Amino acid sequence: MTRQETDLFTVEHSIHDGIERVTVTPRNHRHETPILMQHGMWHGAWCWRQWQELFAEWGWESHALSLPGHSGSPAQRPVWFCTLDYYLRFLKAEVERLPRKPILMGHSMGGALAQWYFKYVGDSLPAAVLVAPWASHNTIAGMGRWWRLDPAGMLMASLTASTRPFIRTAKHAAEKLISPRSIYSPEELLARLSPESFWVMLQHNPPFWHPAEKVKMPLLWLAGEKDAVVTVEHERQSAAHYKADFMVIPDSAHNVMMEYNYRETAELIHHWLEKRGIN
């Protein structure tokens, strides 16, 4: 374990039982409820670092994990055998290991995992924040969007059962994930990305997947205005299905938490949680 201390918070980084975790603890705890952050395809705990530090400044403790085979978490099975229900086991275990039920925050595939959590584990968490998540419906139409966006990448992914072809160069990764105003350069982003299974994309479709009809917990759904991966309209329809509060982040690409306006977006979430009375 490594530990970094600042005047406002401490950062602990560990890899235990094969799972990488980054915990940021504020010096001044103003909120008792922790935030659990689940990354999306190719990413890891690292992608939340800027938000973790901001939320710590505002008094929130946060925990980010890397799924097996992502970032610092070693693979526990070949990537082409990884599925959403396999990943759900690790998310469920992270929720259960915390002494208090957390706010669940999920980005992209992590947002899909959050939806799987609602359906297959329960909706008794204090709240959830879905950040440019996969849509609840119309995911087959979303696959068509991938074909139009990158037909060569889609063909190679179909043949290899890996989504690595989608991010085969810095240019291809940037086109899908970030805007030119991102705090990461395309080269910095590509260097941090990990392999991912193609099956997870197929699995978030009928007949394997149908969203929960009712979710009781408070939900905030964020969409990037310039997201190349999921359309704002599909995001809006999904938020309406769950009766979630819906916000579009101006000028943002898919990786909302690493866009130039990441601080303003984090503030929106912080104020939403406070207005909901979540402490």
Tell me which residue of 24, 74, 21, 83 sits closest to 53, measured CA to CA.
Answer: 24
Q: How many domains does the chain have?
A: 1
Q: What is the pLDDT along the chain (279 residues), one digit of tens a residue?
A: 899 999 999 999 999 999 999 999 999 999 999 999 999 999 999 999 999 999 999 999 999 999 999 999 999 999 889 999 999 999 999 999 999 999 999 999 999 999 999 999 999 999 999 999 999 985 655 667 777 888 898 889 888 888 999 999 999 999 999 999 999 999 999 999 999 998 898 899 888 889 999 999 999 999 999 999 999 999 999 999 999 999 999 999 999 999 999 999 999 999 999 999 999
Quote the pLDDT of residue 227: 96
Q: Which helix (H) or strand (E) covers residue 120, if one does?
A: helix 109-120
Cβ atoms of residues 222 and 101 within 8 Å? no
CA dihedral 66, 102, 231, 239 (to 10 degrees): 160
Determine the pLDDT at residue 140.
Answer: 58
| Helix residue spans in 121-253 (DSSP H) | 139-149, 151-160, 170-177, 186-192, 199-203, 232-242
Q: What is the predicted pLDDT for the residue at 144?
A: 72
For residue 258, CA distances in Å to 21, 32, 37, 248 come to: 19, 26, 14, 15
**What CATH number is attached to the domain comprising 229?**
3.40.50.1820
Give the three-state DSSP class for 171: helix
CB 127 within 8 A of CB 215: no
What pLDDT is stored for residue 175 in this prediction? 96
Cα–Cα distance measured from residue 110 to residue 18, given in angstroms and rounded to the nearest whole number: 19
Task: Give the separation between CA 85 and CA 204, rounded to whole angstroms.
Answer: 10
Q: What is the largest CA-CA distance in the chain?
A: 51
- The rounded radius of gyration (Å) of the Cα atoms in the chain is 17
- Residue 150 near residue 172 (C-beta atoms within 8 A): yes
- Within 8 A by CB and 6+ apart from 89, the residues are none
* 3 state DSSP class of 112: helix
d(CA 19, CA 148): 35
What is the span of the domain harbouring residue 215? 2-275
Residue 142's pLDDT is 65
The whole-angstrom separation of Cα 145 and Cα 151 is 10
